[in-house]
Chains A and B, each alone.
Chain A
Amino acid sequence: MASATSANAASAAMHLVDYADPGAIKQVPTRNGFGEGLIEAGRRDEHVIAICADLSESTRMEGFKKAFPTRYLEIGVAEQMLVAMAAGLAATGKVPFIASYAMFNPGRSWEQVRTTMALNQTNVKIAGAHAGVSVGPDGATHQAVEDVAIMRVIPKMTVVVPCDSVQTKRATLAVAAQWGPAYLRFARAESAVVTTEETPFELGVAQTFREGGDVAIVACGILVYNALIAADELAKDGIECRVVNNHTIKPMDEPAIVAAARDCGAVVTVEEHQVQGGMGSRVAEILAAQHPAPIEFIGVHDRFGQSGTPAELTEEYGMGVASIRAAVLRALGRKRARNGR
């Protein structure tokens, strides 16, 4: 079982928290990382401004508002305006971050995003808060599980779904520094912090958080933690999973995805999003063209969300640790059947 050592080596190389130790894990909402990252981005670049559609506290823009009051604009509940006005501001050299719930921006504002941000090539950054069913009690109207799909089909968009609050801060700084339209997605609920300040981060570069050769779990967002726990549990049964933190949905790290399929022979994708059109779909597109392999998809399967606690909803929609373990076993079975074993 040399792979157990290599699994730890991968984790060490990424400077991860000892996630297997519940006492070492802090629970912090990813949106907090956005708030911190935005203030730091504002310090680094005076052109960074923030615009909010009446949700400054819950999107965590309020810190920027206090730090840079003259660079903060409040335009009320008007998400189409949020995007189009930001495009106009970007035309004057500003770097606008625009925040609302993902359901409303880019949910309500898709055509403005396509025309005024992407086709028009303006340097606007969308912060999509409260994405996924883990929004919890607010229910289906406020649970965006289609946003990655509608953003990743737009040419020239960068789409990022960081795995925890620390990485969300890093991702915020990265999209601020990189010219071009971008969508940054994060969540409301507290979630496990698995990365540290020492963990590397580069847009478009997927990260191997755990090494293994039996099945590759390609995950994004706050479910990366569940993927790591599932992999550790499977290791006790002698099944070694590679866990890839696939934080950049567009442009996706195609070599890393192909390598995962080639090295492991089967893939499980894990995302808090519809399985149609999301991160897993992009993985399937890449592998169908370059290295066909059995794929199992963890995510929301063509349903709307509902009220509940984040934990209840994660289980209900089949995104918990047990569901990921079961998907790995299915993928492994398909791989073995394919290989004639």
Chain B
Amino acid sequence: MDSLSPEALRDLELHANDVRVGIIRSLLAAGSGHAGGSLDMADIFTALYFHLMRHDPTNPELPDRDRLLLSCGHIAPVRYAAMACAGYFPVEELLTLRHFGTRLQGHPERVSLPGLETTSGPLGEGLAQGTGMALGAKMDGSDWRVYVVTSDGEHQCGLHWEAMMTAGKFKLDNLTCIVDRNVIQIDGSTEDVMPLEPFADKYRAFNWEVFECDGHDIAAFVDAVEKAKQVKGKPQVVIAHTVMGKGVSFMEGDYLWHGKPPKKDEAEQALRELSEARELIGAGR
């Protein structure tokens, strides 16, 4: 895969800005939900939906599509916003988030919205299901890939390690785990609540190939995933170092924004900041 042209990169950054706007608008309309992690994964979901993945928004059941699993289902707003921007459904439907009768359930439900791949929210389950899908693809000789987006906090769940062990055993080189390494969970820093470091070494010890990048540098993330796809005989992890709440100044790095939405005035300020950021991107910085 060719590296990103400056024009392509600028387009992706504009899409990521759109996704962040969608997150803020949907969370304001919902009145509850998780702002911090949703915002910090906007660049990565944009890279996946607008550049890296084989998929078709008009045919979510495309048999040979790459599978994207969101293990940490509480950051559903970023996935919904990215899907809407990519054309899976109208952007205005984002305003139904968490409302009665919506397809955009508080935590993602596969049977509710085409294209989700799994129902998620209970932490630590995504990689296990992704391992099953990757194994199924291998058994069938299919060439599609599995991407599993995980939070760092959910690495405290035992099941995730069962999945890491299993993926290593079956040499699932069609499986890439992406970690939102923002070092934050509900009760504070992951390193205070239950330390994960040395994090990369733990993956290596389970026979995974490890890549690390700045999770807000879209070009660096794309490069890491492209390298991961070249790995043979091993599953890969991309540890993306992120800042919770990225893109909204007063949310950045503050764990209190893990599980709450912006109020009206906060949302207005966030949208102003995103509008200013958009002009900078458009001006080529």
Instruction: Give B114-163 interface residues, CB cut-off 8 Å to A.
Output: 117-122, 125, 128-137, 139-140, 142, 158-159, 162-163
Interface size on B (CB < 8 Å)? Answer: 31
Closest CB-CB distance, B34 to chain A, in whole Å?
18
**A3 interfacial contact with B, CB 8 Å:** no
In the bound complex, residues from chain B placing their C-beta under 8 Å from that of A185 are none
In the bound complex, residues from chain A placing their C-beta under 8 Å from that of B158 are 80
**B122 contacts A111, C-beta separation under 8 Å:** yes
Chain A-chain B contacts (Cβ-Cβ < 8 Å), number: 94
Q: Tell me the complex Cα distance, A293–B279, Å.
A: 75
Q: Tell me the complex Cα distance, A49–B165, Å.
A: 21
**A120 contacts B118, C-beta separation under 8 Å:** yes
**B125 contacts A91, C-beta separation under 8 Å:** no
**A89 contacts B119, C-beta separation under 8 Å:** no
Known A-B contacts A116-B119, A119-B119, A120-B118; A80 and B162 likewise in contact (beta carbons under 8 Å): yes
**A140 interfacial contact with B, CB 8 Å:** no
Closest to B125 in A: A84
**B135 contacts A89, C-beta separation under 8 Å:** yes
Instruction: Give B204-261 interface residues, CB cut-off 8 Å to A.
Output: none
**B96 interfacial contact with A, CB 8 Å:** no
| CB contact between A89 and one of B125, B136, B163 (< 8 Å): that residue | B136
**A56 interfacial contact with B, CB 8 Å:** no
Residue-wise, chain A 73-101 has the 8 Å CB interface mask toward B (1 for contact) of 10110101100111111111110000000
Closest to B134 in A: A88
Residue-wise, chain A 105-135 has the 8 Å CB interface mask toward B (1 for contact) of 0000001100110011100000000000000
**B166 contacts A120, C-beta separation under 8 Å:** no
Closest CB-CB distance, B229 to chain A, in whole Å?
20
In the bound complex, residues from chain A placing their C-beta under 8 Å from that of B129 are 84-85, 87-88, 91, 116
**B111 contacts A121, C-beta separation under 8 Å:** yes
**B110 interfacial contact with A, CB 8 Å:** yes
**B137 contacts A92, C-beta separation under 8 Å:** yes
| CB contact between A115 and one of B111, B119, B140, B142 (< 8 Å): that residue | B119
In the bound complex, residues from chain B placing their C-beta under 8 Å from that of A111 are 122
| CB contact between B109 and one of A78, A85, A93, A119 (< 8 Å): that residue | A119
Instruction: Give B159-198 interface residues, CB cut-off 8 Å to A.
Output: 159, 162-163, 165-166, 169
**B128 contacts A94, C-beta separation under 8 Å:** no
| CB contact between A73 and one of B118, B128, B135 (< 8 Å): that residue | B135
**A85 contacts B140, C-beta separation under 8 Å:** no
Q: Tell me the complex Cα distance, A75–B170, Å.
A: 10
Q: Apart from A89-B133, A112-B128, what are 20 other A-B pairs with CB-CB below 8 Å? A: A70-B139, A71-B139, A78-B165, A78-B166, A81-B128, A85-B129, A85-B135, A85-B163, A87-B129, A88-B128, A88-B131, A88-B132, A90-B132, A91-B129, A91-B133, A92-B137, A93-B136, A94-B136, A112-B159, A121-B111
Q: List 17 A-B contacts (CB under 8 A).
A: A75-B169, A76-B165, A78-B166, A84-B125, A84-B128, A84-B163, A85-B128, A85-B135, A86-B132, A88-B131, A88-B136, A92-B132, A92-B140, A92-B142, A112-B159, A115-B119, A121-B110
Closest 6 CB pairs of A and B: A88-B132, A92-B136, A84-B128, A88-B129, A81-B162, A85-B132
